[in-house]
Structure 1
Amino acid sequence: MKFGKEFASQMVPEWQYAYMDYNYLKILLKEIKRFKQRTNNKPLVSTPVGLKRKLTFYRAFSGLIQRHIKSPNSAGGDIEDQVILVRAMQQQQQSSVDSSDSSSSSHHHVHYQSNFLMSAEAGGEYELFYFRRLDDELNKVNKFYRDKVDEVLKEAVELNKQMDALIAFRIKAENPNIDDGVFQNFDRNVEMSRLVSDIAASTAALNASTPSRAKSTKGYMGVIEEVELSNRNDAEGYMDVIEEFLLNNGENSDGTSAIIDINEHKTTSSTVCEERPDSIKGSRPTPLQVLNRVKLNNTLETPCSTIKGILNISMNRKLSLKDLKKVEGQLKRTFIEFYQKLRLLKSYSFLNLLAFSKIMKKYDKITSRSAAKAYLNMVDDSYLGSSDEVTRLMERVEATFIKHFSNSNRRKGINILRPKAKRERHRITFFIGLLVGGTTALLLALILIIHARHILNKKGSTQYMETMFPLYSLFGFVVLHMVMYGMNIYFWRRYRVNHPFIFGFKQGTELGYREVFLLSSGLAVLAFASVLANLDMEMDLITKDFKALTELIPLGLVCLVLAITFCPFDIIYRSSRFFLLRCALHCISSPLYKVTLADFFLADQLTSQVQAFRSLEFYICYYGWGDYKLRTNNCKDNDVYKTFFYIVAVIPFWFRFLQCIRRLFEEKDPMQGYNGLKYFSIILSIVMRTAYSLNKGLVWQVLAWITSAIAGIVSTYWDIVFDWGLLQRNSKNRWLRDKLLISHKSIYFGAIILDVLLRFAWLQTVLNFEVSFLHREAMITVVASLEIIRRGIWNFFRLENEHLNNVGKYRAFKSVPLPFNCDEDEGEDE
């Protein structure tokens, strides 16, 4: 694979515009190459050695270039041998601080610039423009990297406070007799031996992970050498033991010292959360004093927390020992997510450095010059090439995580921090082929049996379509939706839409399109096998009964699917099943939970499964009232069934309406209110269409027409303009949007037309449109299937738009709530 493609494939999708524009620079190099070929029609040869000085003098005398002093960043050799001169200029920018502080801090940003010395030559303007763009890319990448590193360093300081609080919390939990820094009934020898073993394990972890060239850390993650001590005297005593232990044992294989900087640690404050008493200024404060300044955040969104928020009841509370495991789990997830940020930043730095190296080598090869060394020296001296904060911070995080969250087991800790990518298994592909083949064979067998027995011409065909067809169409809706979702995943991956991040899947547990196709094909085989078992429509001539066992097959299949979905054992993708169930619970309790994208995305999927919900209602009626024994359908004559026929169709849209109301009050975004009105209009249209289908009459038909037209127009406009971000009149891509992932614009216009047509598929219910060869139930199934297909198309463009919004804001990380709330005002130094 060429480097350009490899470079693009390794990018963080949300940061793609922050990377060096390698492809554009390649285009500039191709223009230089074409110019050289047009002028010389042969490769460039370097100027003879004897003519170099004379040509240089001529260029200087002509006044086209200026005489430059040799830059320390430039490559060695005479000035006449140089192609470019590089320099770094300091640019001071003021950064605002907290509004409570009137002072401001200044940061010096370095601007890198190269001067091309051969611009007087033929075609020199091409190379001059190339270096200007190259400088722009270097400054862009360097600034972005510096800003992101500053962000993670600030997060590291906050994590340090959280770890101090956790360590104090652990001491209190393990030693309940300790009170206000006084160790009562505390076995000092046991604690000392435990501490030494912990530090030794952490040191060994550092030896294995720290390069010999790494510098000492700046204390951002000081918790690696955290010691749980009560006063200065105890601290000094333990430190002497540890220092002696490390002096005797802490040597790397290359002879360098592996001792942790204990003196630095002694004078480093633990955290802003704790107050430093006058008696021990300059020493480490009592760890247990942290607990006096800490409260537990309500990071878990629950119905109770929502109600407390409405009633303005404080959700921060004092710590209790039963909260220890929950706090440890939250901080563990925070460290894992923080470590992933550091890995992405390290990858960003490495890839860009490699890209600059590749593009300069290409330049030297095309122009037969020697500019790469001087320019790459400047790149190496830049913040991107010289900063090692991320590497050192990764080492600190690894050591801290290994010590505090994996019981000093390095292999276990590293496996959690660096989860391996899911391997594509050939057996999944094999089983997909097997099940798809089985589905095809069963479908052909079904068609042949219906044709051979002339089932459609028998008297029982109408009865069968009104009873058994609604039961089995449920599985058809589910399978079709799964197939569309599998196709969505395939195209999201192809066009680098980061759907696992957008949905919030746990890394390494998200389903690929192969897994989704496997599940859908397996369910399709079971459904078609059940249909074949129920094809016999003849009843006993004496008892007039059908075989109850045969009639229970659809119910048994539904029970099997539900049992697998709720199965607590780690089989059949448990993590994904539980994620789905959690989102479904949030949908059912819409106003009581904070609405995430995964929640309202699932609610939108449910709005396209109205007919599936009505099929479930029919299951309850058909089997609950005993109609299955005679294969009769008396449900539609029952008033209770008719009432729930309305309610069931409205439920998914009601969930979505409540989610919009919750977001309106929480985010204060008026667009959520308009979106809620859209779903309310859909609810009205469904009620009117359902009333017309059950009661008929001109009045109901007119009301159904009016409400459905309003809901259809509003929903279609919202889909295209707000959900997809299209129809932007002044965009670079006329009537689309500025950024598109698919290069063929016709696909977007085709999707718009399809969305409009499929949105108005409900017209058949108002116009009484019928097809002679299709039963009414079959027609309803076809229309419901078209809505599912429309939803599948909507899914891709909705997530594409969300992904591009993340790209525009460079959002590549999940925000993980922290468990502790530190009172910083009380914790400041006196």
Structure 2
Amino acid sequence: MKFGKEFASQMVPEWQEAYMNYNYLKTLLKEILIFRRRMTTSAPVKPRHSASLKRRVSLFRAFSGLTSRYGNTSPKKDKEDEVILVSAMQEADEEQGDQDSRSYQTIFLRSSKDGGEFELVFFKRLDHEFNKVNSFYKEKVEEVVKEAEELNIQMDALIALRIKVNDPYAVSPFINQKTPGSYPLETIKESETSEEKQEERSVDGKEYNMASLEVLNQVKINATKETPVATMKSVFHLLKSDFNFNKNELKEAQGKLKQAFIEFHEKLRFLKNYAFLNQLAFSKIMKKYDKITSRNASDAYLQMIEESYLSQSDEVAKLIDRVEAAFVKHFCNGNRHQAMDTLRPKAKREKHRVTFFVGCFFGCSLALMVAIIVVIHNRDLLNSEGRTLYMDTIFPLYSLFGFLVLHLLMYAGNVYYWTRYRVNYSFIFGYKAGTELGFKEVLLLGTGLSVLTLAGILSNLEMQMDQRTQSYKALTELVPLGLVIFVLLIAICPFNIVYRANRYFLLVCLWHCICAPFYTVTLPDFFLADQFTSQVQLLRNLQFYVCYYGWGDYKKRDGEACKKSDVYDIMYIIIAVLPYWIRVLQCLRRLFEGHDSTQALNGIKYFSTIVAVVARTIHSQKKGITLQIIAGATSVFATIFSTYWDIVKDWGLLCRNSENPWLRDKLILPKRSIYFIAMVLNVILRLAWMQTVLNFTDTAFLHRNAMIAIVACLEIIRRGIWNFFRLENEHLNNVGKFRAVKSVPLPFSHEDGIKHL
């Protein structure tokens, strides 16, 4: 792999604007190369054996040694051979002796020669890129140093809380004694009495500084677990932040601080890799320059880089060592192997068996679809008397799985293109490192579920056709219910099978949606709620499951009995409105928290959709011109409002004065036409509600339930398209703010200016 591609693949996606623009500098070098070739009238032809001769001669060169035993043997350059002069321009802070605030400028000494203007442009751009990299690195280092100071205070409080909880009587003068120059990162094993602690003060001849409990008087606990009850108490100001000194507080505080250390260590690793990659990129680009121009300018420039803050600063390396040592000691009981597995998770390896089973399940799905089509054609089921009865009862039961499989396939496509265009979906969703599902794993789930669903459909057809199984009609009707129970059991299975971490993550987000607005709304929470707004028909099919099997209608295959009740009609509306109502509550929670004032308009958007859905559902149940007009008017308003929000707010498009007219300044996809096509498709698919208002479902050639299923599939496809551009916009927002690490709430709050005790 060429260095340019390797360089791009190892970038932190959210920091890509801060890296050296290697490709642009290569373009400038190509311009220099093109000019020099034009100026060359004739190129000497090298003999064929020159390359092999050069390699043969290099084999006889003296070995310089692994430790540079001969010293620096490169010949000293005369001033006449100098190509560039690099000088450090002092800024305002430099007058006070701050050597880190330099900006560097290169003077090209051969500008008078032919083509010198091209090289002047190259070095000017090179200086700009290096100053950008150096400045960004310095800014980030200062940021992590401040974060380290905050973590020091948090660790002081955690250690003091450990001592207080595990030994509440440990308040002797010895424990509160402060040794000059002590640093509260060393802890000793807690014991039952202070006398035993006094004996452990010196272990193996080493003096251990005891942590002070005085820090607990200057901090407050924030480690209360977020629950609906805790949220209600905080609303009515009943939730106190004082210490109770119990083990639950200690457990929650330790869990939060452990996660903060993990995220901080990841940021440090990003910074270390950032410095290394950029230094390597500057070395590569200067060597290319020397090769193209036959000059020797790289030594002087790379020497400047070696003396710069980017190369000389060692704060990041020291912080990494200290964070790892503290994590091993305080969070892993001295088990370094366990600590390194947590702090430095191994890269996720692609498993070939996943690819194999995806192909296997996909082939089985195709075979089962062909078998179903053959059975329907041979038995002429489309013209049979039981066609209508089958579409009214069995079809809604199985279409639920069809909607779920289609959603999984769309999500697999999203993951594939997010990965291809380096949209950091794992960070955006907040997955635990190494647990995110790739597109093949999602395809595995989708194709596996499709095999089970198609096998169930075929078994229903065969059982009804076989004369020997006619007496087991009630049993055949239970096949869809068995599939639903199987999927639910897999979803809540506590064992480490079928991607347990992802299932747990999904269930937590689902619980947050159900309990809205009692939990802080994060992106995964409202993203999942948005998915449910496109799966209204799936939720209604679940309602039919309860009706069909709960009322015992499956015994006689009669799904119309419970549908005729008023309770079913009311629940039919409530089920459709529920996902939108969850989004309204989430918008209100975000509005009251003050994170985004536009959430008021977003809540109104979802409320207008609720009105439109209720109007359309009542019209489909009772008909009438007046209801049709009301349903049409409310649907038009909700569609215009929602379409505007999708394209302008969620996707960030339709910016008139952007670099890409009517799109946005930054685009990930290479072709701008794709964005315009997506906007048009969003508008068209948003109009799917018209089939209800204009009675498109009542057609002679297609059953009503089949038309409803088609419209529901179109909405799922629209949501899949929306998902990609929504996360692309979120990713670009993170890139603009250089936000590459999750911000973790810390367990303790304190007054400004608190010092280590």
Counterpart Cα distance in 2 of 1:75 and 1:163: 54
Could you say if the C-alpha distance between residues 761 and 824 of structure 1 is closer, same or farther in structure 2, counting changes exceeding 3 Å? Answer: closer
Q: Which amino acid in structure 1 is aligned with residue 243 of structure 2?
A: K
Query: How big is the shift at 1:308?
Result: 3.0
Q: Residue 533 of structure 2 contacts residue 580 of structure 2 at CA under 8 Å; is this kept in 1?
A: yes
Q: Which amino acid in structure 2 is aligned with residue 816 of structure 1?
A: V
Could you say if the C-alpha distance between residues 363 and 44 of structure 1 is closer, same or farther in structure 2, counting changes exceeding 3 Å? Answer: farther
Q: Where do 1:256-267 residues align within 5 Å?
A: none
Counterpart Cα distance in 2 of 1:44 and 1:22: 31
Counterpart Cα distance in 1 of 2:318 and 2:741: 20
The equivalent position to 2:214 in structure 1, one of 283, 289, 299, is: 289
Query: How big is the shift at 1:179?
Result: 1.6
The equivalent position to 2:124 in structure 1, one of 125, 132, 145, is: 132
Q: Which amino acid in structure 2 is aligned with residue 115 of structure 1?
A: I
Q: Residue 13 of structure 1 contacts residue 496 of structure 1 at CA under 8 Å; is this kept in 2?
A: yes
Counterpart Cα distance in 2 of 1:557 and 1:715: 35
Q: Residue deviations 1:726-751, cap 9 Å, x none?
A: 11111111111111001111111110
The equivalent position to 1:744 in structure 2, one of 659, 662, 671, is: 671
Q: Where do 1:689-708 residues align within 5 Å?
A: 689-708=616-635
Query: How big is the shift at 1:515?
Result: 0.8
Q: Residue deviations 1:220-239, cap 9 Å, x none?
A: x9655556899xx9999988
SS at match of 1:168: helix
TM-score by length of 1: 0.82
Query: How big is the shift at 1:539?
Result: 9.8
Could you say if the C-alpha distance between residues 471 and 315 of structure 1 is closer, same or farther in structure 2, counting changes exceeding 3 Å? Answer: same
SS at match of 1:741: coil
Aligned to 2:443: 517
SS at match of 1:590: coil
Unaligned runs of 5+ in 2: 46-73
Counterpart Cα distance in 2 of 1:656 and 1:75: 71
Aligned to 1:350: 276
Could you say if the C-alpha distance between residues 792 and 748 of structure 1 is closer, same or farther in structure 2, counting changes exceeding 3 Å? Answer: same
1:802 aligns with 2:730: yes
Counterpart Cα distance in 2 of 1:117 and 1:240: 65
1:782 aligns with 2:710: yes
Could you say if the C-alpha distance between residues 312 and 325 of structure 1 is closer, same or farther in structure 2, counting changes exceeding 3 Å? Answer: closer
Aligned to 1:195: none
Q: Which amino acid in structure 1 is aligned with residue 628 of structure 2?
A: Q
Aligned to 2:10: 10
Q: Residue 181 of structure 1 contacts residue 287 of structure 1 at CA under 8 Å; is this kept in 2?
A: no
How many residues align? The count is 718
Q: Residue 473 of structure 2 contacts residue 555 of structure 2 at CA under 8 Å; is this kept in 1?
A: yes
Query: How big is the shift at 1:432?
Result: 0.7
Query: How big is the shift at 1:292?
Result: 2.9
Aligned to 1:813: 741
In terms of mean alpha carbon deviation, does 158-167 or 808-817 score higher? 158-167
Query: How big is the shift at 1:400?
Result: 1.0
Aligned to 1:147: 139
Q: Which amino acid in structure 1 is aligned with residue 747 of structure 2?
A: P
1:317 aligns with 2:242: yes
SS at match of 1:419: coil
Identity %: 58
1:307 aligns with 2:299: no
Q: Residue 427 of structure 2 contacts residue 742 of structure 2 at CA under 8 Å; is this kept in 1?
A: yes
Aligned to 1:275: none
Aligned to 2:158: 166
1:767 aligns with 2:714: no
Query: How big is the shift at 1:298?
Result: 3.8
The equivalent position to 1:119 in structure 2, one of 111, 117, 139, is: 111
Q: Residue 75 of structure 1 contacts residue 373 of structure 1 at CA under 8 Å; is this kept in 2?
A: no
Counterpart Cα distance in 2 of 1:668 and 1:239: 49
Could you say if the C-alpha distance between residues 137 and 538 of structure 1 is closer, same or farther in structure 2, counting changes exceeding 3 Å? Answer: closer
Aligned to 2:19: 19
Q: Where do 1:168-183 residues align within 5 Å?
A: 168-182=160-174
Q: Residue 272 of structure 2 contacts residue 317 of structure 2 at CA under 8 Å; is this kept in 1?
A: yes
In terms of mean alpha carbon deviation, does 816-825 or 2-11 score higher? 816-825
Could you say if the C-alpha distance between residues 504 and 286 of structure 1 is closer, same or farther in structure 2, counting changes exceeding 3 Å? Answer: closer
SS at match of 1:547: helix
Query: How big is the shift at 1:162?
Result: 1.5
Q: Residue deviations 1:357-388, cap 9 Å, x none?
A: 00000000000000000000101111111111
Counterpart Cα distance in 2 of 1:44 and 1:615: 79
Aligned to 1:187: none
Q: Which amino acid in structure 1 is aligned with residue 138 of structure 2?
A: R
Could you say if the C-alpha distance between residues 369 and 377 of structure 1 is closer, same or farther in structure 2, counting changes exceeding 3 Å? Answer: same
Q: Where do 1:240-251 residues align within 5 Å?
A: none
Q: Which amino acid in structure 2 is aligned with residue 664 of structure 1?
A: L
1:534 aligns with 2:526: no
SS at match of 1:109: coil
The equivalent position to 2:550 in structure 1, one of 624, 635, 644, is: 624
Counterpart Cα distance in 2 of 1:312 and 1:670: 23
Could you say if the C-alpha distance between residues 540 and 91 of structure 1 is closer, same or farther in structure 2, counting changes exceeding 3 Å? Answer: closer
Q: Where do 1:382-531 residues align within 5 Å?
A: 382-531=308-457
Could you say if the C-alpha distance between residues 663 and 241 of structure 1 is closer, same or farther in structure 2, counting changes exceeding 3 Å? Answer: closer
Query: How big is the shift at 1:464?
Result: 0.6
1:652 aligns with 2:590: no
Unaligned runs of 5+ in 1: 46-73, 95-103, 185-218, 246-261, 267-283
Q: Which amino acid in structure 1 is aligned with residue 13 of structure 2?
A: P
Q: Which amino acid in structure 2 is aligned with residue 799 of structure 1?
A: L
Q: Residue 180 of structure 1 contacts residue 289 of structure 1 at CA under 8 Å; is this kept in 2?
A: no
Counterpart Cα distance in 2 of 1:437 and 1:117: 67
SS at match of 1:591: coil
Aligned to 1:272: none
Could you say if the C-alpha distance between residues 241 and 309 of structure 1 is closer, same or farther in structure 2, counting changes exceeding 3 Å? Answer: closer
1:79 aligns with 2:4: no
Q: Residue 397 of structure 2 contacts residue 541 of structure 2 at CA under 8 Å; is this kept in 1?
A: yes
Counterpart Cα distance in 1 of 2:427 and 2:343: 17
SS at match of 1:534: helix
Query: How big is the shift at 1:158?
Result: 1.1
Could you say if the C-alpha distance between residues 392 and 239 of structure 1 is closer, same or farther in structure 2, counting changes exceeding 3 Å? Answer: farther
Q: Residue deviations 1:299-340, cap 9 Å, x none?
A: 633223322332234541214231222222222111111110
SS at match of 1:422: coil
Q: Residue 439 of structure 1 contacts residue 528 of structure 1 at CA under 8 Å; is this kept in 2?
A: yes
Could you say if the C-alpha distance between residues 136 and 590 of structure 1 is closer, same or farther in structure 2, counting changes exceeding 3 Å? Answer: same
Provide the aligned C-alpha RMSD in A. Answer: 2.9
Aligned to 1:687: 614
Could you say if the C-alpha distance between residues 315 and 13 of structure 1 is closer, same or farther in structure 2, counting changes exceeding 3 Å? Answer: farther
Query: How big is the shift at 1:288?
Result: 2.2
Q: Residue deviations 1:235-288, cap 9 Å, x none?
A: 99988866x56xxxxxxxxxxxxxxxx9xxx9xxxxxxxxxxxxxxxxx78612
Q: Residue 32 of structure 1 contacts residue 127 of structure 1 at CA under 8 Å; is this kept in 2?
A: yes
Q: Residue 296 of structure 1 contacts residue 319 of structure 1 at CA under 8 Å; is this kept in 2?
A: no
Counterpart Cα distance in 2 of 1:486 and 1:463: 35
SS at match of 2:85: strand
Query: How big is the shift at 1:560?
Result: 0.7
Q: Residue 175 of structure 2 contacts residue 210 of structure 2 at CA under 8 Å; is this kept in 1?
A: no
Q: Residue 293 of structure 1 contacts residue 827 of structure 1 at CA under 8 Å; is this kept in 2?
A: no
SS at match of 2:628: helix
Q: Residue deviations 1:122-180, cap 9 Å, x none?
A: 11111011101100101000000001011111111111111122222223344343125
Counterpart Cα distance in 1 of 2:716 and 2:427: 24
Could you say if the C-alpha distance between residues 670 and 226 of structure 1 is closer, same or farther in structure 2, counting changes exceeding 3 Å? Answer: same
Query: How big is the shift at 1:92?
Result: 2.0
Q: Residue 406 of structure 1 contacts residue 412 of structure 1 at CA under 8 Å; is this kept in 2?
A: yes
In terms of mean alpha carbon deviation, does 511-520 or 163-172 score higher? 163-172
Aligned to 1:211: none
Aligned to 1:193: none
Aligned to 1:666: 593
In terms of mean alpha carbon deviation, does 104-113 or 763-772 score higher? 104-113
Counterpart Cα distance in 2 of 1:6 and 1:828: 44
Query: How big is the shift at 1:603?
Result: 0.4
SS at match of 2:295: coil
Could you say if the C-alpha distance between residues 22 and 410 of structure 1 is closer, same or farther in structure 2, counting changes exceeding 3 Å? Answer: same
Q: Residue 180 of structure 1 contacts residue 288 of structure 1 at CA under 8 Å; is this kept in 2?
A: no
Aligned to 1:755: 682
